Amino acid sequence: MKRPTITAHAGSMGLPDNTLEAIRAGIEAGADIVEFDLSFTVGGAPVLSHDEPQGGEPTLADAFGILRAHPAIRANIDLKRLSDHLYKVQPLAEEYGVSDRIFFTGINEDWIPEVRRQCPGVPYYLNRDIDESRFGDEAYYEELAALTARVGALGLNIHFSGAHPALSRILHEAGLELSLWTVDEPDDIRAVLETEPDNVTTRRPDLTLEIIRKA
């Protein structure tokens, strides 16, 4: 079984969400990818924040500075809302030399045209809620794969409770990936690894990697 990439959640290793300390801790714990939430100030500055910025948040430039110093690490930029200032992300990534190591999540199909217009060079995953009543339904998974391909996404980004081996297989057959968020408990981590996802987002990258090593 291929090892999935491990993404350190914005609040990994018990640290506050969207802090530079959490980013560094995720990297030190062995994560392949670090996640942080992106919002924009009233003046249009890109900052790390899940909610509307209140002032004092780390800037996207701060995060890219850490990324520049760790050339093997990628960044999952989770969009919390659309902004007319989203276009600032791509040139800033190019300035810091990290444009080939970033991608967006948090995006539904309605947002995609605007995301592609403002950041044409940044790849993205499609976020989707899974219909629990159709869990295990391969016809449904085929529909999800077709939608994901149609909107030009790298793959599907879903809550880990929606993971299923058939979904992974159908996405893989279409050349797409399955990314899962956010799984932290040991039993849940073991269970989702059996579904063969391409990525697992967790607040405990250290624990997840330990479980993978012992599998």
pLDDT tens figures, 7-21: 999 999 999 999 999
pLDDT tens figures, 130-178: 999 999 999 999 999 999 999 999 999 999 999 999 999 999 999 999 9
List CB contacts of 57: < 8 A, sequence separation 6 or more. 18, 39, 47, 48, 49
Residue 50: other Cβ atoms inside 10 A: 16
pLDDT tens figures, 183-200: 999 999 999 999 999 999
Say what the pLDDT of residue 1 is: 67
